[in-house]
Structure 1
Amino acid sequence: MKVNRRHHTSGPPRAIYYALASNIAVATCKYGVALLTNSGAALAEAIHSSADCLNQIIMLYGHRRARARPDEQHPFGFGREQYVYGMLVAMQLFVVGGLASVAVGVFRALHPSPLDRPWLAVGVLCASGVIEAIALRATIRTIEPRHRAHGLFNWFRESGRAAVMLAAGEDFASVVGVAVSLIAVVASMLSQNPLFDALGGIGVGLVLMGTALFSMREIKSLLVGESAHQGVRDEMDAWLRTRPEIRNVVSLVALKWADDLVIAVQAELETEGRASDLVRTIGRIENDLKSQFPAARWIYFEPELREHGRNPL
């Protein structure tokens, strides 16, 4: 068994800072335009951006907690703590962002009032859309190109990086929400019917609630325990089978642990003879495996005998 005792010292993902900076600027503008134009859709978007700001602050704190050094009670460290804070963020996005926006829209539908200076709302929403799109692009660029190549949806479902996953999801919801609000304001302005503006607020809330539910499902999978990408597992299995010391790979488990992997291998070895030779062989395989796959922080290698069968770990 090999344990890589390196300790992460890298800072929080840049995606969080991109999202936080853009949401502070956008929220300020949206509250201003909501006050000046009496737009429920703009107010829903302002609430959305405020919720996103709080989310990024929570994720920054969670990232800091996840970097705490392992102790006696937590020998694997606190990396998975970011999943807990990620779930809190998704729940907060659902309640504070989604439900509050729907409530604003419903209230405006029951108590309609005409928009004031609607062109101001259109201009601010367009500017906000550009800022949100730039933030989304910057967040996407923090994802490794080899993961982006298989599509962002697949990356979102397979990613173990909760902070980046949530930042990308929020940025995407922000772009869609701005588009919904813009359509609602323009429709209300052209038709002189404030109901469209109210429906825009409800639409923004539904977008946020859908994003939050999808994020909750993915983070729940990470909390329960999720395997590494299928491509990583296949690559690792193929690498093990090319080793001259290994006769057969019985079982391979690669479990996500925040930004790291926990690897458990059962394999039949070609080595025969003294126990010390077996230990050296296992140590050599573990060292080479760590060099080939740097994310493998904990490696547990169990030599298996043919007569023991092929039961997986």
Structure 2
Amino acid sequence: MLVAVAKTVAAVFTSSASMVAEAAHSWADAGNEVFLLIADRRGARPKDERHPLGFGRRSFVWALIAAFGIFTAGAIVSIMHGVQELREDEAVESPLVAYIVLAISFVLEGISFVQAFRRSRRLARERLSSTWDFVLRTSDTTLRAVFFEDGAALIGLLIAGSSIALHQLTGVAAWDAVGSILVGVLLAVVAIVLIARNMAFLVGTTISAKERRQIGEALLRMPQIERLTYLHVEYVGPNRLFVVAEVDLAGDESEHRVAWRLREVERTIEKHEAVEKVVLSLSVRDEASLAFDA
């Protein structure tokens, strides 16, 4: 919010369309952070009888609202203001003020982006994935939003600074307006990516083939499970899984004993921090076993 205030003051002093776009960008980011904070808190509520799969999907809803905020408050405002300024021939005043604010903002946004990048890279390595693929596919809506928003913020600052510099060098005021439009387009692309990913998780996207194989192999390593004939896993919140499987338990015991053992296996699996709910049923003997070849 302090960065947004600084950019707004700079926009007033300089009459720069690019600074107006950057101010709109920062105000959209500030509002977005509020929505993400709500997403984290609402999604972390423990499950109850009416919500057996927990409240994790609320995180995706609030993150979706935040992404729409970036599109409307950031992208549309920046593009519309840039188009309007194309018709004007107003010079940028006191460009030094703009450069100072942009430089300070770049340092602050850079620190935040480096933190998000390091965390993403570490988690990607743990999952034997590239950083980019992990950020796109992760169910952690907050991490993805911060990564994309801070990355876009750094690019937007460079665009704004370059536009003002080109305006100074050429004397053509249109460069400043073009900068505003480019910042708006950048925000629109980021918003569309975030909207698409959150919508995918809301409608019940399944895990990747690699993650499915890892979970299948982990289940088969359990001494109680002899075979696995069906497996469905989907995200019901950030880093929270709903697992449905058909298994063949080791041994040949009575129906009552098998039902009790199934419940014990479910409870064992649900102790994993990433598992919200597990539903197991028995496999039919003539059903083919699942294979999890790399």
The two structures share one fold, judged by TM-score above 0.5? yes
Question: In the TM superposition, what is the alpha-carbon distance from 1:158 to its structure 2 partner?
Answer: 1.4
Distance across 2 between alignment mates of 1:299 and 1:267: 12
Distance across 2 between alignment mates of 1:211 and 1:177: 12
Of 92, 100, 107, 1:115 maps to: 92
Question: In the TM superposition, what is the alpha-carbon distance from 1:284 to its structure 2 partner?
Answer: 4.3
TM-score (norm 1): 0.84
Q: In the alignment, what sits opposite 1:270? A: 250
Q: In the alignment, what sits opposite 2:284? A: 305
- Verify the 8 A CA contact 1:38 1:116 in the aligned structure 2: yes
Q: Secondary structure of 2:228's partner? A: strand
Q: In the alignment, what sits opposite 2:275? A: 296
Question: In the TM superposition, what is the alpha-carbon distance from 1:167 to its structure 2 partner?
Answer: 2.0
Q: Which letter does structure 2 place at the counterpart of 1:262?
A: F
- Verify the 8 A CA contact 1:79 1:257 in the aligned structure 2: yes
Structure 1 window deviating more from structure 2 (129-138 vs 97-106): it is 129-138
Of 209, 214, 225, 2:188 maps to: 209
- Provide Cα deviations, 1:63-95, integer angstroms capped at 9, x if missing partner: 332234444433323221111111111111111
Q: Secondary structure of 1:114's partner? A: coil
TM-score (norm 2): 0.89
Q: In the alignment, what sits opposite 2:7? A: 30
Of 247, 262, 271, 2:226 maps to: 247
The structure-2 alpha-carbon separation of the partners of 1:78 and 1:240, relative to structure 1 and needing over 3 Å to count, comes to: closer
- Verify the 8 A CA contact 1:271 1:281 in the aligned structure 2: no
Q: Secondary structure of 2:286's partner? A: helix
Question: In the TM superposition, what is the alpha-carbon distance from 1:143 to its structure 2 partner?
Answer: 3.9
Q: In the alignment, what sits opposite 2:27? A: 50
Q: Which letter does structure 2 place at the counterpart of 1:37?
A: T
The structure-2 alpha-carbon separation of the partners of 1:289 and 1:139, relative to structure 1 and needing over 3 Å to count, comes to: same
Of 137, 159, 170, 2:149 maps to: 170
Of 207, 216, 221, 1:237 maps to: 216
Unmatched 5+ stretches in structure 2: none
The reply to whether residue 261 of structure 1 matches residue 238 of structure 2 is: no
The reply to whether residue 282 of structure 1 matches residue 262 of structure 2 is: yes
Question: In the TM superposition, what is the alpha-carbon distance from 1:131 to its structure 2 partner?
Answer: 1.2
Q: In the alignment, what sits opposite 1:226? A: 205
Question: In the TM superposition, what is the alpha-carbon distance from 1:137 to its structure 2 partner?
Answer: 1.4
Question: In the TM superposition, what is the alpha-carbon distance from 1:115 to its structure 2 partner?
Answer: 1.1
Question: In the TM superposition, what is the alpha-carbon distance from 1:306 to its structure 2 partner?
Answer: 1.7
Question: In the TM superposition, what is the alpha-carbon distance from 1:164 to its structure 2 partner?
Answer: 2.1
- Verify the 8 A CA contact 1:140 1:168 in the aligned structure 2: yes
Distance across 2 between alignment mates of 1:289 and 1:71: 19
Question: In the TM superposition, what is the alpha-carbon distance from 1:280 to its structure 2 partner?
Answer: 4.2
- Verify the 8 A CA contact 1:254 1:262 in the aligned structure 2: yes
- Verify the 8 A CA contact 2:76 2:184 in the aligned structure 1: yes
Distance across 2 between alignment mates of 1:70 and 1:245: 27
Question: In the TM superposition, what is the alpha-carbon distance from 1:170 to its structure 2 partner?
Answer: 1.2
Question: In the TM superposition, what is the alpha-carbon distance from 1:121 to its structure 2 partner?
Answer: 1.5
- Verify the 8 A CA contact 1:271 1:277 in the aligned structure 2: no
Q: Secondary structure of 1:115's partner? A: coil
Q: How many residues align?
A: 287
Q: Which letter does structure 2 place at the counterpart of 1:39?
A: S
- Verify the 8 A CA contact 2:227 2:289 in the aligned structure 1: no
The reply to whether residue 124 of structure 1 matches residue 101 of structure 2 is: yes
Distance across 1 between alignment mates of 2:109 and 2:208: 29
Percent identical? 24
Q: Secondary structure of 1:180's partner? A: helix
Distance across 2 between alignment mates of 1:268 and 1:76: 25
Distance across 1 between alignment mates of 2:106 and 2:236: 35
Structure 1 window deviating more from structure 2 (216-225 vs 78-87): it is 78-87
- Provide Cα deviations, 1:157-188, integer angstroms capped at 9, x if missing partner: 21112122212221111111111111111111
The reply to whether residue 85 of structure 1 matches residue 62 of structure 2 is: yes
RMSD: 2.2
Structure 1 segments (4+ residues) deviating >4 Å:
308-311
